């Protein structure tokens, strides 16, 4: 069963990522205290550990997952375009996958070649809309389902 491995947010643009053991995630603010958490299609970003490792391997670098600047890190999932519209349930939290998190120039600044390494096969993760308010914790079980 896939699990939530890590949670992070930033309080200011270009600021450091703050890792936490648990977080309140709401429809109004995404991951509580995150500067980009406002309502919309990109409230929360989710990164697959498998895909992150593929990207790092391709540039022969061992980078912390927070380099990607995503909110959540999950294991045992690989994202693709087929997942758009599906619901990602993390503990009691429900997220709707709205699209791909496109890598940007900040990734190239973080490490040479990282932007290109994240581009294929949705390695940069997914963007999500929050469907309900819930507290999430490291180790929460995750399911990926088609909405009914």
Q: Tell how far CA 48 is from the center of its chain.
A: 7
* pTM for this prediction: 0.96
CA-based torsion, 44, 22, 134, 4: positive or negative: positive
Cα angle value 48/5/107 (rounded, 5°): 45
Residue 138 CB partners (closer than 8 Å, separation 6+)? 4, 5, 6, 7, 21, 22
**pLDDT given at position 37:** 87
**pLDDT given at position 56:** 98
pLDDT values of the chain reduced to their tens digit, one per residue, 148 residues? 999 999 999 999 889 999 999 999 999 999 999 998 888 999 999 999 999 999 999 999 999 999 999 999 999 999 999 999 999 999 999 999 999 999 988 899 999 999 999 999 999 999 999 999 999 999 999 999 998 7
Distance linking the first and last C-alpha atoms of the chain: 21
Q: Are 111 and 31 in contact (CB under 8 A)?
A: no
């Amino acid at each position: 069963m896939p699990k939530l491995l890590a949670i992070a947010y930033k309080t200011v643009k270009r600021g450091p990522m703050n890792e936490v053991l648990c977080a309140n995630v709401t429809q109004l603010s995404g991951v509580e205290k995150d500067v980009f958490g406002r309502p919309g299609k990109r409230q929360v970003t989710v990164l697959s550990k498998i895909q992150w490792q593929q990207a790092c391997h391709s540039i022969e670098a061992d980078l912390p997952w927070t380099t990607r600047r995503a909110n959540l890190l999950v294991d045992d999932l690989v994202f693709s375009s087929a997942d758009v519209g599906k619901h990602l349930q993390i503990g009691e939290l429900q997220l709707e996958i709205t699209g791909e998190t496109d890598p940007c120039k900040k990734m190239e600044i973080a490490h040479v070649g990282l932007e290109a390494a994240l581009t294929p096969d949705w390695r940069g993760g997914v963007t999500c809309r929050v469907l309900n308010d819930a507290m999430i914790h490291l180790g929460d079980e995750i399911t990926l389902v088609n909405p009914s």
